[in-house]
Structure 1
Amino acid sequence: MSSSILPPEGEQLATGWEPDLPVADSLVRQAVLAHASWAIDTARRAGRPWYDGDTWAGGILGDRGPITNWIVPKQPVDPAEVIAAADREFGTSAPYLFVSAWPTPDLRPHGLGLAGHPPLMIRFPDPSVAPPTTDLEIRQATTSAELADAEKVLVEGYPLPELQPFTPGTLYSPAVLDSPTTVWVGYDGDVPLATSAAHDAAGLTVVENVAVMPAARGRGAGAAITWAATTRHSHQPAALIASDDGQPVYQRLHYLRLERWTVWVRS
């Protein structure tokens, strides 16, 4: 078969997922690699198990609650192979989120449950947008005590019953203070009521761990704490995996739904 649009025989054709391809080959590639970085960075800095290879990355920060541990495929490979590799690296008892940019087959035979198909949302820098307002004081966590405040809000406000009762250091070790991750806390006086995190990787800001306590809802806290993380690196796009409750807030901040990802849970 011949055609003017076919490449020369034997030419290597990029799929977009080769390990040596530029990170910024596509926004989706950037988002995948940025979330892979999020999956390993906190665990690595805390001295916990982690793995980063060509096809997947993952970190095991704790033994309670899957949100503390992430497994992220970096290429469209067989998820069963990634799960088997993670079992070899981390054992079979650790809970985790399996976060895939691609549709997957049924992974229940491998011990996982389907959490859903949440949208990946992207926001591009736009200095014309006015910051949202709140009566809370939004500030960057710069001490272990402030990290503990952020953890408390996340565990109790999200909520994360698997991590209750709350124990400081479960989600953030002091090493986070000197890392690509910035943690934000919203205070009413001395009372922490909102939190978010911004992770800088692959030319994107990953916005994660957004939570607001009931006492701060309806006060603009969700938008303001998300804005702090979103604009931490104002020159680059921000990306997040949206919850159902969070989507309206993110859309008001000019986030766009890019595509749906697939999230499984091993509990």
Structure 2
Amino acid sequence: MGASILPPEGEHLATGWEADLPADDSLVRQAVLAHASWATDAARRTGNPWYDGETWAAGFLGDRGALTNWVVLKQPVDPGEVIAAVDREFPRDAPYLFVSAWPTGNLKHLGLGLAGHPPLMVRFPSTTTTPPTTDLEIRPATDLDILADAERVLIEGYPLPELQPYQPGSLYDPTFLEGPSTVWVGYDGKVPLATSVAHHAFGLTVVENVAVLPQARGRGAGAAVTWAATTQYADSPAALIASDDGQPVYQRLDYLRLERWTVWVRP
């Protein structure tokens, strides 16, 4: 009985991570590839350093703040080899996030610090959810002024102390208005108080850069900007790497915890 289920000798058995497999071979694969796209997209469009290979992808936008630069594993390979390749390809003093869908082992000896094992959360488009309410007006960034408002809210509300005091263009280049990412901003009158981003790639929407200023907390602002990003592509699943503070908000929007990823930081 046992031998009858064995494949023929030499037959390739897909692991789900071969480079030639369709992106939608699994939902986790879609999420990995979409996050790799998020890592490289802005750098591609602005002429900054980027790399996108079979096993990892990265984009570098600046020399301050780990959220400015991302490295994303695309296959379950030796992270030490990838970090060595990053050191060869990019400035060695640049900070970055190192994101892996797989356990990595201890990388402290390679100069990285463990940020944690946050859950990948997913919301399916067939889910029926009561939209959140807020007294803020939620707008997409359609011009440079709104884009600058979003950037300031992200840097001050996340917060990102490495990028303070705020300088325009630290994270969002004007080309952000032209790519596969849409930035959302929540306003109280003319005052920007909350923000999020929807990045669409490989049939999935990555929700990123959710931030709310203190004066908007408790007003449904975080849920509202997350909802705007989540539902921008209504027929696609949405995924995000959740912070501890954000998880209750995302759960109320019917996001499900799929699995834990591993995030390291190169300071």
**TM-score interval, smaller chain:** over 0.9
Following the alignment from structure 1 to structure 2, what is the Cα–Cα distance between the partners of residues 24 and 92? 34
Q: What are the superposed Cα offsets for residues 28-79 of structure 1, whole Å, 9 maximum, x if unpaired?
A: 1000000000000011111111000000000001110000100001000000
- For residues 143-182 of structure 1, what are the structure 2 equivalents within 5 Å? 143-182=143-182
Instruction: Please name the residue that 2:116 is paired with.
Output: 116
| Residues 1:194 and 2:184 aligned together | no
Q: What are the superposed Cα offsets for residues 189-216 of structure 1, whole Å, 9 maximum, x if unpaired?
A: 1100000000001110000000000010
Preserved CA contact (<8 Å) 2:127 2:254: no
- For residues 1-267 of structure 1, what are the structure 2 equivalents within 5 Å? 3-126=3-126, 128-267=128-267
AA of the residue aligned to 1:113: G
AA of the residue aligned to 2:19: P
AA of the residue aligned to 2:136: L
The TM-score with structure 2 as length reference comes to 0.98
CA positional deviation for 1:2: 7.2
Following the alignment from structure 2 to structure 1, what is the Cα–Cα distance between the partners of residues 74 and 85? 13
AA of the residue aligned to 2:71: I
Following the alignment from structure 2 to structure 1, what is the Cα–Cα distance between the partners of residues 182 and 2? 54
Following the alignment from structure 1 to structure 2, what is the Cα–Cα distance between the partners of residues 73 and 213? 32
For structure 1, which segment, 21-30 or 126-135, has the greater mean C-alpha deviation from structure 2 after superposition? 126-135
Following the alignment from structure 1 to structure 2, what is the Cα–Cα distance between the partners of residues 255 and 127? 9
Following the alignment from structure 1 to structure 2, what is the Cα–Cα distance between the partners of residues 205 and 4? 41
- SS of the aligned residue for 1:4 comes to helix
Following the alignment from structure 1 to structure 2, what is the Cα–Cα distance between the partners of residues 60 and 129? 36
Flag as ranges the 4+ runs of structure 1 deviating above 4 A: none
State the percentage of identical aligned residues: 76
Following the alignment from structure 1 to structure 2, what is the Cα–Cα distance between the partners of residues 224 and 47? 33
CA positional deviation for 1:127: 6.1
The TM-score with structure 1 as length reference comes to 0.98
Any unmatched runs of 5+ in structure 2? none
Q: What are the superposed Cα offsets for residues 204-242 of structure 1, whole Å, 9 maximum, x if unpaired?
A: 000000000001000000100100000010001000000
Question: Does the C-alpha gap of structure 1 residues 5 and 147 become closer, same or farther in structure 2, counting only changes over 3 Å?
Answer: same
Question: Does the C-alpha gap of structure 1 residues 2 and 223 become closer, same or farther in structure 2, counting only changes over 3 Å?
Answer: closer
Following the alignment from structure 1 to structure 2, what is the Cα–Cα distance between the partners of residues 127 and 246? 19
AA of the residue aligned to 1:116: G
Question: Does the C-alpha gap of structure 1 residues 132 and 2 become closer, same or farther in structure 2, counting only changes over 3 Å?
Answer: closer
Following the alignment from structure 2 to structure 1, what is the Cα–Cα distance between the partners of residues 12 and 72? 26
- SS of the aligned residue for 2:4 comes to coil
AA of the residue aligned to 1:118: P
CA positional deviation for 1:126: 3.6
Following the alignment from structure 1 to structure 2, what is the Cα–Cα distance between the partners of residues 124 and 61? 31
AA of the residue aligned to 2:258: L
What is the root-mean-square deviation in Å for CA atoms of aligned residues?
1.1
Q: What are the superposed Cα offsets for residues 240-263 of structure 1, whole Å, 9 maximum, x if unpaired?
A: 000000000000000000000000
